[in-house]
Structure 1
Amino acid sequence: MAKQLNFDLPVRAALGREDFFVSPANALALGLVDSWPNWTSGKLVISGPAGSGKSHLVHVWAKVSGARIVAAADLTEADVPDLARTPVAVEDVHLIPDDPAAQTALFHLHNLTLAEGNTLLLTGIGAPPQWGLSLPDLLSRMQGAPVAVMDDPDDMLLMAVMAKQFGDRQLMPSPDTMAYLVKHMDRSFSAAALVVKALDNVSLSEKRPITRALAKRVLEGE
């Protein structure tokens, strides 16, 4: 059977507070975010594996606090004075261990934001000592921040995360398909994202609904 060509269409992620599924794996992180603006030292680090919902929590906080969001790799010293005027979130700090300019910019952003009486939220995979930062002054500032850890998913969270990812793609697998996936796939947020994308691609190319049989094929690597 001829397969339909498919394209990587943009996925519209739902990032509202009402879209964030709370479980024991992320409840502490959510609680610490909700405790704003009463953060110790005016800053907080959210640490967790890829796909665990760090960026979602950042957007939840930004809506409440009026913060701006910037990727650590995009930071420049020229941006610092403007960004420090409001609360600010810096995402994926673990990606800049080999970028001295970005580390220097983050160091100055940290200092100026707090000096202006604003708050700073940072995210990364692993705790700050694992980020490989080479600027000693920046590393000491990061190690001085409270850390909200997002753990690996339990069954309910993994199913909720996948349901959200399918929903972002406007797909709705049956409940038995979801249960099958959670039982048989690798138990990680990154695996969930890969499985959802693969099922979306196969479903689109073959013009088939996402069923348990299709899920079995994808997980077995056909």
Structure 2
Amino acid sequence: MSRQLTFDLPVRMASGREDFFVTEANAMAVAEIDRWQHWPAGKLALIGDEGAGKTHLVHVWAEASGARILSAQDLLQRDPAPGHLAIEDVPAIAGDRDAETALFHWHNLVLAEGGRLLLTGTTPPALWQIALPDLASRMRGTPSVRLEEPDDMLLQAVLLKLFADRQITPQPSLLPWLLRRMDRSFAAVGRVVAALDAEALRTGRAVGPKLAADVLERFDDPAT
């Protein structure tokens, strides 16, 4: 099928271990996830910036361990249950006493029954501004590992993955061109790929440096 046909194709979000590219930027976090059965406290906080790959790595762990995945904001709608559990975006419930209480009960039950607990956030647990004292102390006592700022190898791998998720085959010269010019963050990678996809579908142009130059110029123009 020609890429220039403007169909509303679904984005296939790849989340398996084979799609997670390991470089020096994330090797330590991947190593900690791989040794999940031996976490000394039975729990781990996975921290990193927006788009750093936390959710992807959570899914890798859930597949390996059989864990459930819940967002911290959804805990109130579920009754605590034993078993391995990943709770995403814990800082989002900071100051919400009911949600913090729910997390406190989930935390205690999972660990008491021998389960493993994986928590995510953008900062270390000590900075999560949890108001409930007993929960705050448990969060501060949670070992953490960080997904570091991406290197060139990792940014290129993420670009390729996001293009593949959108069924795009970019021109070979595009990736090195982008790496020299775009903001060096995972969030920026996601924005650029989405914008290139939308512009290519709108105009029928090839996904290459010329299209990317127009898209990045629009990003830099405060009037757009």
The question of a shared fold, defined as TM-score above 0.5 by the shorter chain, is answered with yes
3-state SS of paired residue (1:51): coil
Q: What TM-score results when the alignment is normalised by the length of structure 2?
A: 0.91
Q: TM-score, normalised by structure 1?
A: 0.92
What is the percent sequence identity of the aligned residues? 53
In the alignment, the residues of structure 1 paired with residue 124 and residue 110 of structure 2 have an alpha-carbon distance, to the nearest angstrom, of 21
Q: Which residue of 2 aligns with 1:11?
A: 11
Q: Within 2, Cα distance between the matches of 1:184 and 1:100?
A: 44
Alpha-carbon distance between aligned partners in 2 of 1:129 and 1:146, rounded to the nearest angstrom: 10
CA distance in 2, matches of 1:97, 1:117: 26
1:153 is aligned to: 150
Equivalent position to 1:111, from 103, 108, 124: 108
1:135 paired with 2:121, answer no
Secondary structure of 1:106 counterpart: helix
Residue 9 to residue 131, structure 1, CA distance change in 2 (3 Å) = farther
Matched, 1:202 2:195: no
2:28 — aligned with what?
A: 28
Task: Note the C-alpha offset of 1:120.
Answer: 0.4
* Structure 1 Cα separation of the partners of residues 107 and 8 of structure 2: 37
Letter in 2 for 1:26: N
Separation in 1, partners of 2:193, 2:127: 29
Secondary structure of 2:173 counterpart: helix
Question: Matched residues in 1 for 2:28 and 2:198: separation?
Answer: 35
Structure 1 residue runs of 5 or longer lacking an equivalent are none
Instruction: Output the aligned Cα RMSD.
Output: 1.8
- In 1, the alpha carbon distance for the partners of 2:8 and 2:23 equals 31
2:48 alignment counterpart: 48
Deviation digits for residues 51-107 of structure 1 (CA, Å, limit 9, x no counterpart): 11111111111111100000111111x6243xx321000011121114222111111
Aligned residues: 216
The SS at the match of 1:186 is coil
Q: Is this contact kept in 2: 1:80–1:108, CA < 8 A?
A: no
Question: SS of the residue aligned with 1:175?
Answer: coil
Deviation beyond 6 Å, 4+ runs, structure 1: none
Check conservation: 1:166, 1:172, Cα contact below 8 A.
yes
Q: Which residue of 1 aligns with 2:222?
A: none
Determine if the alignment matches structure 1 residue 183 to structure 2 residue 180. Answer: yes
SS in 2 for 1:220: helix
Who is 2:168 aligned against? 171
Q: 1:94-131: per-residue Cα shift (whole Å, max 9, x none)?
A: 21114222111111100010111111001111111222
**1: CA distance between counterparts of 2:18 and 2:210?**
32
> What corresponds to 1:79 in structure 2?
78
Cα distance in 2 for residues equivalent to 1:151 and 1:62: 21
